Amino acid sequence: MPKLKTRRAAAKRFKKTANGKIKRNKAYRGHFMEKKSSDQKSNLRKGGYVAKADEKRVKNMLAS
């Protein structure tokens, strides 16, 4: 069976951690930032992790 190609769009958005989890950036940072509270903007700066339910799908996209 041939090797899976990495989906480049996914590779730009997700990073693997040393423990095998997948880091991601949070949504809702694109625009309308002046309406959002400073607490909300501060929370959006921090990254998050991909949910367990989606982890298998994302790992498959990142398979190189």
- What pTM, to 2 d.p., does this model score? 0.80
Enclosing H/E stretch for 41 = helix 38-45
Q: How far apart are CA 26 and CA 57, in angstroms?
A: 18
For 8-62, give the CATH class.
few secondary structures
* Model pLDDT, residue 8: 95
Amino acid at 43: N
Each residue's pLDDT, cut to its tens digit, for the chain (64 residues) gives: 888 889 999 999 999 999 999 999 999 999 999 999 999 999 999 999 999 999 999 999 998 6
pLDDT for the residue numbered 64: 66
Structural domain boundaries in the chain? 8-62
